[in-house]
Amino acid sequence: MVSFAVAVPPSDFPQVFVGTAELLKHVRAQFLLDWQGIHGAAHWSRVLDNGLRLAERTGARIDVVTLFAFLHDSRRVDDGSDHGHGQRAAEYAVELRGRAFEIDDAGLTLLAAACRGHSDGLTEAEVTIQTCWDADRLDLGRVGRRPNPRLLCTAAAREPAIIEWAYQRSLGRANRTLGRV
Ligand SMILES: [Fe+2]
Ligand SMILES: [Fe+2]
């Protein structure tokens, strides 16, 4: 059982990673797509890094941001638009709470909402949800698209330096950690 009850400092990636190892076992066992693909582990790793960096500015819940990174694309059935994968991820998050991780009810509500709406192009939401969506959208360079500031939710994500940092990483020059799991 993994507990995210205690917030982990954004700069302390190793603790977050160790705490999510069991969750990743569950997720990988049912993942239908290429683990090394555009919606696989390397993407999730960068979404996590993006989210933790944004959270330092937005005050988003780190446990929710972390779980979102690992779950939001975990129930895709293809690498296209796959309408419905957000809803399936939200349902999966509810299913895994208590089995693969612990989170309070408010956190689960945020996590499910973030997963459910992450590919609908929305920008208005509670700030933790916005941070999750921005973390994902900042990684569009992997599919040849530079993030559009007008489609980002938070001022932190719209900063040109953040967009450039995330964009360069999304091109595959600085993948780390989960891509090798
Ligand atoms: Fe997605
Ligand atoms: Fe994603």
Q: What digits encode the pLDDT tens for the residues 85-103? A: 999 999 999 999 999 999 9
pTM higher than 0.85: yes
Angle value at C-alpha 104, between 101 and 108, nearest 5 degrees: 75
Token readout for 18 is 């160790």
Any idea which ligand is nearest the CA of 140? 2
Which residues have CB atoms below 5 A from the ion given as ligand 1?
73, 119
Output the CA 108–ligand 2 centroid distance in Å: 19
Token readout for 22 is 């069991």
pLDDT digits (tens, 9 = 90+) for 102-156: 999 999 999 999 999 999 999 999 999 999 999 999 999 999 999 999 999 999 9
DSSP string of 33-100, one letter each residue? S-TTSTTSHHHHHHHHHHHHHHHHHH---HHHHHHHHHHTTTT-SSSS--TTHHHHHHHHHHHHBTTT
Beta carbons of 119 and 52 less than 8 angstroms apart: no
pLDDT digits (tens, 9 = 90+) for 28-83: 999 999 999 999 999 999 999 999 999 999 999 999 999 999 999 999 999 999 99
Q: What is the pLDDT of residue 173?
A: 53
Output the CA 14–ligand 1 centroid distance in Å: 25
Angstrom distance (rounded) from CA 147 to CA 96: 31
Report which of residues 22 and 132 the model is more confident about: 132
- The single-letter DSSP state of residue 138 is T
Any idea which ligand is nearest the CA of 170? 2
Angstrom distance (rounded) from CA 53 to CA 29: 29
Output the CA 72–ligand 1 centroid distance in Å: 6
Output the CA 119–ligand 1 centroid distance in Å: 6
Cβ count near 91 (within 10 Å): 14
Report which of residues 42 and 14 the model is more confident about: 42
Output the CA 96–ligand 2 centroid distance in Å: 19
Which residue segments constitute the domains of the chain, with CATH numbers given? 13-180 (1.10.3210.10)
